[in-house]
Amino acid sequence: MPKDLNDHICNEQLFEKLFKTHGKNLHDFLYYKFGSHLNPQDKVQEAFIKLWENCKKVTPSKAKSYLFTVANNLMLNEVAHQKVVLRHQETKPKSSTNETPQFVLEESEYMEKLQKAISNLTEAQRVAFLLNRIEGKKHKEIAALLDISTKAVEKRIYGALKQLRKEIDGI
* DSSP letters spanning the chain: -PPPSSSS---HHHHHHHHHHHHHHHHHHHHHHH-STT-HHHHHHHHHHHHHHTTTT--GGGHHHHHHHHHHHHHHHHHHHHHHHHHHHHSPPP---S--HHHHHHHHHHHHHHHHHHHHS-HHHHHHHHHHHTS---HHHHHHHHTS-HHHHHHHHHHHHHHHHHHTTT-
Q: List the CATH number of the domain containing 138.
A: 1.10.10.10
Report if residue 143 sits inside a domain: yes
- Number of domains within the chain: 2
Report if residue 139 sits inside a domain: yes
Are 82 and 122 in a shared domain?
Answer: no
Report if residue 54 sits inside a domain: yes
Residues 39-84 pLDDT 10s = 899 999 999 999 999 989 988 889 999 999 999 999 999 989 988 8
Are 74 and 29 in a shared domain?
Answer: yes
Given 40, 55, 90, which residue is the final one in a domain?
90
Report if residue 107 sits inside a domain: no
More confident site: 2 or 83? 83
What range defines the domain where residue 47 resides?
Answer: 12-90
Report if residue 135 sits inside a domain: yes
Are 16 and 85 in a shared domain?
Answer: yes
Report if residue 97 sits inside a domain: no
Report if residue 4 sits inside a domain: no
| Mean confidence (pLDDT) of the chain | 87
Report if residue 96 sits inside a domain: no
Residue 2 in this model has a pLDDT that exceeds 70: no
Are 18 and 84 in a shared domain?
Answer: yes
Are 17 and 86 in a shared domain?
Answer: yes
Confidence (pLDDT) at 135: 87
